[in-house]
Amino acid sequence: MARLVLASSSPRRQDLLKMLGLDFIVIPSTIEEEHFNGLSPEEMVRELSRAKAEDVGRSVENALVIGSDTIVVLEGKILGKPANPGEAIEMLKELRNKEHTVITGLAIYDSNTGRTVVDSDQTQVFMGSIQDDDLINYVKTGEPLDKAGAYGIQGIGGAFVDWIKGSYYTVVGLPIHKLVKMLKEFGVSIF
Residues classed as catalytic: 69
Cα 159 from chain centroid (whole Å):
19
Instruction: For residue 21, give every residue at least 6 positions away whose Cβ sits within 8 Å of its Cβ, in sequence order, or none.
Output: 190
Instruction: For residue 105, give every residue at least 6 positions away whose Cβ sits within 8 Å of its Cβ, in sequence order, or none.
Output: 42, 44, 45, 46, 47, 48, 49, 50, 67, 68, 69, 70, 118, 119, 120
DSSP 49-76: HHHHHHHHHTT-SSEEEEEEEEEEEETT
Helix axes 132-140, 85-95, angle to 10 degrees: 140
Q: Could you give the angle at the alpha carbon of 123 between the alpha carbons of 45 and 51, nearest 5°?
A: 15
Give me the amino acid identity at 124.
Answer: Q
User: Cα separation of 9 and 99, whole Å?
Assistant: 28
